[in-house]
Amino acid sequence: MVLRLALLALGVLELLRPRKVVDFWMGLATTDGGEINLRPWVYSAARVEGALLVLWVLRRSRSGE
């Protein structure tokens, strides 16, 4: 249940603020602290991922699993 709530929160954040979420994770993943240029489609992919997470959580909660 806690995992589903965490995934739901992450999905909503990715839908509403994909740039902040991606930039946060990229900041954790890199070590040099330099400028990182991401392709523009990365933020769209994050938004799609957020939508899929939200849909998955909602389907799982409706099926009672």
Question: 21-30, pLDDT tens digit by residue?
Answer: 999 998 888 8
pLDDT tens-digit map of 39-53: 989 999 999 999 999
| Residue ranges making up the domain that contains 13 | 1-29+38-63
Number of domains in the chain: 1
User: Quick one: pLDDT at residue 54?
Assistant: 95
User: Quick one: pLDDT at residue 12?
Assistant: 96
Residue type, 10: L
Query: What backbone torsions phi and psi does residue 47 show, to the nearest 5 degrees?
Result: -65, -40
CB atoms within 10 A of CB 50: 22
- How far apart are the C-alpha atoms of 26 and 30, rounded to whole Å? 6
Instruction: Check: pTM over 0.75? Answer yes or no.
Output: yes
Residue type, 25: W
Q: Rounded mean pLDDT of the chain? A: 90
User: Quick one: pLDDT at residue 5?
Assistant: 93
